[in-house]
Every structure is written in structure tokens, then in C-alpha cells.
Amino acid sequence: MSKVVKFGGSSLASAEQFEKVGSIIRAEAERRFVVPSAPGKRFSADTKVTDMLYGCYALAEADKDFSKELKAIKARYEEIIKGLKLKLSLDDEFVTIEKNFKEKAGKDYAASRGEYLNGIIMANYLGFEFIDSATVIFFNEDGTFNANKTNDVLSKRLEGLQNAVVPGFYGAYDNGKVKTFSRGGSDITGSIVAKAIHADVYENWTDVSGCLVTDPRIVKNPQKIDIITYRELRELAYMGASVLHEDAIFPVRQEGIPINIRNTNDPGNSGTWIVGSTGQKSKYVITGIAGKKGFCSINIEKDMMNSEVGFGRKVLQAFEESNISFEHLPSGIDTMTVFVHQDEFMDKEQKVVSTIQRLAKPDTIDIESDLALIAVVGRGMRATRGTAARIFSALAHAHINIKMIDQGSSEMNIIIGVANDDFENAIKAIYDIFVETCL
């Protein structure tokens, strides 16, 4: 059995956290391949090393003195090395980094050094082999991830190795220039490594004990999700849930490898299992609730719209011409509503409206802004009658007006539109009716 274990920045922010990680890895011989992030915050007012690197490189890019900032970054790593009592020096690495900063190696190179240096420390601490991700993870010329080449090269590189450390977050173009994934991309690296070695499990260690039913900033101490499918997680991640980078799902999903979200500070907690499919029933009717603010709706009305061939295409063409994607598209016999991100739409509002008028010739167009969308997701909803009714009832009881409701054909998610000001209360009301009443 083999496991890939990825540790987030908070798990590796200090020597004390490194020791916790070391104990977790050594507790099971199956934890053979380690993907570290850059050191995160040691305390709430602290700065993540990745942000320190961005700031330092910005000075270098502007031809300003960055020696003080680079020295502060080096001190963070030396504090970890000293705390772990390692005989390791990063002096040569920082000489190279300084040189490359002066030569304008790029923001991606700068940001990647956080994981790169932490990987060197981790490999030295564990006695594992260190593999620079720039030599095994590849990007195409257009910046997209080259999955096929990466899998071929990485599989061969890891073949026969008992243990290895592969830093998260970055890879390289064919010419060797470093390229990073988006923020949180170490999750993706872990998934890529798990696919390459055909791992039995991909453990993703962070500072929470798995995925929660909803945002703890809105609902105090929400319940943990024990098991969730990839599809459910994708729906929740798209609507703002952020325990795992959403692109990390694809490599392991293709191989049927489960992900286990665990807490470095509470290793005895089983966390959340993310799987392809499961026969296990959800603890509650719903699996999770997530949402986002900042949408607006464009309501288009036209008599006999339903019998006019191509009407919908003409409306959407107006958004396409302004390079605006839509989120949801509920419609009736004579009405059609398009939900879009408000910040993308407002500067192009009149252009879109005039294009709709020209192409579709509607009777009226009404625009409502400052809306929020909430996704209620759960495989258990398929087999449970009255789910939508319970949502309506909960929101009515909380005096919240529903602007829109849209259920996917899979019956696994229901999207509700409410005013921005009602967003938090709506989530609390839905959580109460489906979770609190069952406790």
C-alpha cells in the first residue's frame, strides 16, 4: 500500500509543526511520498512566506534594494532548520535566488522558492530523496498543465523509489522556466503525484479536520462531512468552499484514488473522505451548503418567446460578444433570466443591453444587482421527498425572499438566489432545517 501525503502551509509554518508532520509520516510506512507547501503563518498577524517572496521580487523587478526582505525570508527557514537541529545550510540556495531575482527570473520563479526550499528541508529532516518539481511537472507553451508528459516523466522518476519529497505548487515549461499553478496549487501537485504512483490514498493534511457542512465564519462550529463524492465537492468548491483546490480532483478522479482531508493538529480525527461514488448514506439529507455574493440578474421578457426559434441563442450571444460568462439561466414561457458576476457585467452593462435589444428585440429588460447564490448539495436529496419545500419553508420562516431557484437534472444540487444582505441568514436557516433539527 502507498500513500501520497500533502501538507499545507500552516502545517509547516514552524519547527514545531514540522515535528508534528514528521510524527504523522513516520507513524505509517505507507506514507511514502510527501508534497510540502511553503511555510504559512505562525500566528494570525504573521505573513506567509509566499507573500514575502512576492513582495521581495516586486522590489527586485523595480530595480530596488531587496536584501532586507530576502534576509527576512532566509531567517524564516533558518529558524525551522535550527528548531529541527538539522545540519543543513541554504546559503548557496539563497545566493542563487538573489542572482535570479536580479536577472528578473519571473514572479512564478519567486513564488515557487517557498515550496522548493521547504522541500529541501523536509527531505533532509525525513531522510527522503528530494525531487525538484521543475524536472518532473510540465506546462505547455500556453501555460496549461501538460498532464501526459508529466505523468510519463514523473512515473518513471518515482518508479523504484521507496520515499521522496516533491515540492508543491510549481513545475516548468519545456525550456526549464518555472511556472506555478494558481494559489493553493500544492493540492494539485499532490494529486498529480498520487496518480503517477497509482497511490491507494491521497492524504491532504491541513489545519481543519476535513470538509465542513458550511462556512464556519457564518455558522458557528458546523458539522463535519464524513464522506463526500467528487461531484458533490466540485459543486461546493465552485460556489466558494475552499478546503481543497478544485483542480486537484481531476487527476485522482481519473484513477479512482480517494482523497482523505486530515488535520495536522488533530491526527486522530478521521477527517473527510472524498470518493468517486459511495453507497453510504449521507448523515443528513444534504451534504453541504456553499455560496457567493456579488451577482446580478438580467430578466428578459417577450411575448411568445418560447415559440421563437433561436431566441435564447441571440440573448446569450450578447453576453458572449462582451466576453461575459453566465452562471444560471432559469426561464419561463415568456421570460428568461441570466445570472452573471456583477463585477464582470457592470462596466459592460449598456453594451450588453443594447446588443440584446438589437439581436432579440425583447419587450422589456430588467436588471437587479447585489444578489447572492447559494448551492445546497447532496446525493441524499435524490431519494428524499420535499427537500425544496423544506428550503422554502426555512427561508420563509427567516423572512427571506427567494429571487431564484434552480435544480440540476441530477437532483444533487439546488441553487437559490437571494439578496446579498440575506446571504448569511439564508445559509443559517438552511443549515438549521437540515442539520440542527437532526442533532
100-133: pLDDT as tens digits = 999 999 999 999 999 999 999 999 999 999 999 9
Which class for 117: exposed (0-12), middle (13-18), buried (19 or more C-beta within 10 A)?
buried
What is the widest separation between alpha-carbon atoms in the chain? 78
Q: Name the least confident of 15-19, 117-121, 211-215.
A: 211-215
DSSP 3-state assignment of 417? strand
pLDDT at 331 over 90: no
**Between residues 38 and 436, the one the model is more confident about:** 38
Give how far Cα 313 sits from Cα of 167, 210, 323, 348, 354, Å.
Answer: 46, 42, 15, 19, 16
**pLDDT at 409 (0 to 100):** 67
- Mean pLDDT for 61-69 is 97
Residue found by looking up cell 446525493 in the block: 379
Among candidates 41, 34, 50, 33, which has minimal Cα distance to 17? 41
Distance CA 206, CA 119 (A): 17
Task: Place 179 in a pLDDT band, splitting at 50, 70 and 90.
Answer: very high
- Mean pLDDT for 315-320 is 96
Pairing of strands 288-301, 404-407: unpaired
**pLDDT at 242 (0 to 100):** 72
Task: Place 281 in a pLDDT band, splitting at 50, 70 and 90.
Answer: confident
Q: Copy the grid coordinates of residue 297.
A: 440578474
**pLDDT at 386 (0 to 100):** 84
State the DSSP string of 342-410: HHHHGGGHHHHHHHHHHHH--SEEEEEEEEEEEEEE-GGGTT-TTHHHHHHHHHHHTT----EEEE-TT
- Mean pLDDT for 302-313 is 91
pLDDT at 439 over 70: no
* CB 341, CB 328: distance < 8 Å: no
Q: Copy the grid coordinates of residue 135.
A: 524536472
* CB 46, CB 17: distance < 8 Å: no
- pTM value? 0.86
pLDDT at 245 over 90: no
**pLDDT at 406 (0 to 100):** 84
**pLDDT at 284 (0 to 100):** 87
What lies within 8 Å, CB to CB, of 191 at 6+ separation is 202, 248, 249, 250, 251, 252, 259
Domains of the chain: 3-207 (3.40.1160.10), 288-438 (3.30.2130.10)
pLDDT at 410 over 80: no
pLDDT at 16 over 90: yes
**Between residues 276 and 106, the one the model is more confident about:** 106
Task: Place 295 in a pLDDT band, splitting at 50, 70 and 90.
Answer: very high
Distance CA 373, CA 369 (A): 12
pLDDT at 89 over 80: yes
pLDDT at 248 over 80: yes
